[in-house]
Structure 1
Amino acid sequence: MYRALRRSAAATAYLVAGLRTALPSMLGLLALPFAGLLALLFVVLPWLPGLLRPVRTLAAIERRRAGRALGREIPEPYPAAEGPTLERAVRLLRDPSTWRDLAWMVLHGLSGLVMGVLAIALWPSIAFALSMPLWWWAAPEGSVSALVVLDGWPRALTMPFLQAAVNTAALIWLLPYLARFQARLAGWLLGPSRRSRLTRRVERLTETRAEALEAHGAELRRIERDLHDGTQAQLVAVALRLGLADRRFDADPDAARALFLQARDGIEDALTQLRTVIRGIYPPILSDRGLPGAIRTLAAGQHIPVRLELPGEAEARVPAAVEAAAYFVVAEALTNIARHSGAASAEVVLRRSDSSLHVLVRDDGKGGADAAGGSGLAGIRRRVAALDGTARIDSPAGQGTTLEVELPCGS
């Protein structure tokens, strides 16, 4: 019973709070026919963006309320407002989200007002009905009723309690249903439609494809640069030493032997550089120790304490590309912390769900990190976007930096 009353109280609070948007919506209904007529006559068309701003403000308030009630964020469905005023006005008329907002305003203005008033009235009506047997006889005849007029003690001792039972049932079962209906109505009308979600998905895939190509090209250029400037130069030097040693072998065996030894050292250096290039492609430590072990190694090499929250080895197993990206994110983030943050401590959290890998890196440094400032954050975003993941950076000045990355990895 206590849980039912808590649900009813929460539903009442939600429906009553809905009056903040229902009352303005109801008032706006009176102006809609005139505004629509003027818009059709192109008299008010240049001012249409400004006239729709209050509607979108109300929709934004309701979107946040409904998102909290539904436990999920309801994204805004509006496209970017660009271009001249008249062009934006025409685009607003063609935009389905504009008409969905107006439809919500009509439905919410009518139903939200009724639901809010009902939610307010049900609670005192129960107390009113239960107290009626105590004072009905002192009221003027016919002025007090509990569904029917009370004209005797039999009715006074039965009908008020029946009314209280009906009101209590409505309070416990009807109000939560109405609150869910109101939240779902807002989520359906004020969120993006299926078509707009598909459009945004295509745009997102186009962006991530471009990011993937850019990240792939940058990786190829890095490998080519490392091979050209390092390994290739070492091998050319080895070839020259071997050629000189071959020419001096008969005339000066000792000098030839020294050149052979230098060539051997050069080959060892070239192999070291090749191993470094290979580690940049897929760090061998991931194969040897897995992602949690590799992150522990990264944390152990820091000059500040790093608190770790990592899953087990079996739970953290993800595709190799996701593993490499997560390792790169943590390594780059810890490098940024060491170089730029001035932090006294850091934290790395790794969580695995059915469909994604969540990486969080936080520090208590000076904050103010900027992805456009060449701090490595832009590289993290490119690497994450290449896998259709998301990266969020929160770095207020003086309050540290939080990097959250979500990488899809399938079930």
Structure 2
Amino acid sequence: MTSETSRDLRGALRRSADATGQLVGALRTGLPALLGLVPLTAFLALMWIALPWLPSAVKPLRALANAERRRAGRILGREIPEPYRPPRDGGLREARRLVRSPDTWRDAAWMAVHGLTCLQAAVIAVGIWAAVPYTLSLPLWWWAAPEGSVAAFVTLDGWPKALTLPFLQGALDVFILLWLVPRFARWQARLAEVLLTPTTRTSLSERVEELTETRAEALEAHGAELRRIERDLHDGTQAQLVAAALRLGLADRRFEADPDAARELFLEAREGVEEALVQLRTVIRGIYPPILSDRGLAGALRALAAGQPIPVELDIDMGGAAEGRAPAAVEAAAYFVVAEALTNIAKHSGARNGRVAVRRAPGRLTIAVRDDGKGGADPDRGSGLAGIRRRVAALDGATRIDSPDGEGTTLTVDLPCGS
């Protein structure tokens, strides 16, 4: 045997050994998938009765599918994207959305196929390694076996068979070991990619649905903002100006008869006008903080962090000068996201330290706000995080909240930033 042939054989054996390890490793998702077929079948049979529990039922299925995406992605050398959108509603509305989502059914199909084939593939891959030396050694000991015994699909009843059939069987075993086993592992990963990767149609459908929802949320947020501005102007600025006008009218009537009393009314009216100006500036800051115009986003965030009751570390990288400033709407959204997040940290988290990281990349602005508090933040239980999500969604951005109990909270926001 030449050195090149020996090298090729060693390479083929190594690839087969790696593939066997991958097929055995697939049992970490294959066995749970196989065991989950019974409750999956029962759930599908009772779908309309068990519909309210569907959002909870898909969580372990999605966790299993995500584990397989990571495993198959390592084998294929490319990432298999996760198609799931974060739940926006609860109860029956979310359950009906899951029933309509193709991703739910594709996950269920993968679970069925993977569960039914994974164990067999692993058994074949492991067994074939032992079958090769066992089959090739038959000519050495077949005569000691009881008459009529069958080994490696060969009936042991004479030397002619013992000297020919085991080698044919061994050749087939070697073919399976060196050619089929690596392909079994590759096919298994490809099957996961085909079933667990969102299709173009699914991605487009999900995108249309997401844009429809974010448009509705943007309109709702815009309406709420207009109502807030109207309420602040009506209850604050307008009331102060009306009071100032009344005092000026009374002062005008008393000016000749009682100049001192008229002067007091003039002073009260001036105070009312000054207070109205303060309230008006507050309303303006709520629309677009002037500090953003004066100092830019980085300066505004530094001023914001300096006014917090706990130490806040800042890590801001706004990119090169060639990229220019982000659009005003993006800067305003980023400012309000950080302001709301820091307010939540101060009020609810029990944190001792906070950290704000801002990164400007071509076309994107990423914000990460972290704390070392108690965690357990839930956007469904409060208006602050839900308001952040709506504001970000209005700009076609993405929000992710990671808040395990006892480990603090990380809020990550990704905003499109084409200037």
Same fold (TM over 0.5): yes
Partner of 1:385: 393
Q: Which deviates more from structure 2 when the two are superposed, residues 212-221 or residues 361-370?
A: 361-370
Partner of 1:333: 341
Of 15, 22, 25, 1:17 maps to: 25
**Residue 254 (structure 1) shift:** 4.0
- Tell whether 2:57 aligns with 1:64: no
- Root mean square deviation, CA, Å: 5.2
* Cα distance in structure 2, aligned partners of 1:11 and 1:304: 53
Of 407, 411, 416, 1:408 maps to: 416
Of 346, 358, 361, 1:350 maps to: 358
Alpha carbons of structure 1 residues 368 and 10: separation in structure 2 relative to 1, 3 Å: same
* Cα distance in structure 1, aligned partners of 2:298 and 2:240: 35
Partner of 1:220: 226
- Tell whether 2:298 aligns with 1:292: yes
8 Å Cα contact 1:104-1:190 kept in structure 2:
no
Identify unmatched segments of 5+ residues in structure 1.
Answer: 29-34, 36-44, 150-162
* Cα distance in structure 1, aligned partners of 2:365 and 2:202: 27
* Cα distance in structure 2, aligned partners of 1:94 and 1:335: 36
8 Å Cα contact 1:76-1:191 kept in structure 2:
no
1:360 counterpart SS class: strand
Partner of 1:260: 266
**Residue 311 (structure 1) shift:** 0.8
* Cα distance in structure 1, aligned partners of 2:101 and 2:381: 39
Of 228, 237, 250, 1:231 maps to: 237
Q: Which deviates more from structure 2 when the two are superposed, residues 376-385 or residues 326-335?
A: 376-385
Q: Which deviates more from structure 2 when the two are superposed, residues 17-26 or residues 337-346?
A: 17-26
8 Å Cα contact 1:235-1:266 kept in structure 2:
yes
Alpha carbons of structure 1 residues 15 and 8: separation in structure 2 relative to 1, 3 Å: same
**Residue 295 (structure 1) shift:** 1.4
TM-superposition CA deviations, 1:210-262 (whole Å, max 9, x none): 21122111111111111011110111112112212222333344443443333
**Residue 103 (structure 1) shift:** 8.0
Partner of 1:202: 208
8 Å Cα contact 2:102-2:202 kept in structure 1:
no
**Residue 349 (structure 1) shift:** 1.7
TM-score by length of 1: 0.67
8 Å Cα contact 2:318-2:360 kept in structure 1:
no
2:284 counterpart SS class: helix
* Cα distance in structure 1, aligned partners of 2:294 and 2:349: 31
**Residue 69 (structure 1) shift:** 4.0
Of 307, 315, 319, 2:327 maps to: 319
**Residue 264 (structure 1) shift:** 2.7
TM-superposition CA deviations, 1:297-355 (whole Å, max 9, x none): 11111222112221136468422222211111111111121122221111112223444
8 Å Cα contact 1:333-1:361 kept in structure 2:
yes
Alpha carbons of structure 1 residues 302 and 144: separation in structure 2 relative to 1, 3 Å: farther
8 Å Cα contact 1:223-1:277 kept in structure 2:
yes
* Cα distance in structure 2, aligned partners of 1:243 and 1:212: 44
Partner of 2:157: none
Q: Which letter maps to 2:302? A: R
Partner of 1:242: 248
1:406 counterpart SS class: strand
8 Å Cα contact 2:61-2:107 kept in structure 1:
no
- Tell whether 2:214 aligns with 1:211: no
**Residue 183 (structure 1) shift:** 2.9
2:317 counterpart SS class: coil
8 Å Cα contact 1:67-1:187 kept in structure 2:
no
* Cα distance in structure 1, aligned partners of 2:241 and 2:65: 67
**Residue 278 (structure 1) shift:** 0.6
TM-superposition CA deviations, 1:106-148 (whole Å, max 9, x none): 69967x789767976999999x9xxx9xx9xx9999689999x
Q: Which letter maps to 1:246? A: D
Alpha carbons of structure 1 residues 12 and 305: separation in structure 2 relative to 1, 3 Å: farther
Task: State, as a whole percentage, how many aligned pairs show the same letter.
Answer: 59
* Cα distance in structure 1, aligned partners of 2:243 and 2:14: 79
8 Å Cα contact 1:64-1:74 kept in structure 2:
no
Q: Which deviates more from structure 2 when the two are superposed, residues 193-202 or residues 19-28?
A: 19-28
8 Å Cα contact 1:97-1:192 kept in structure 2:
no
**Residue 273 (structure 1) shift:** 1.4
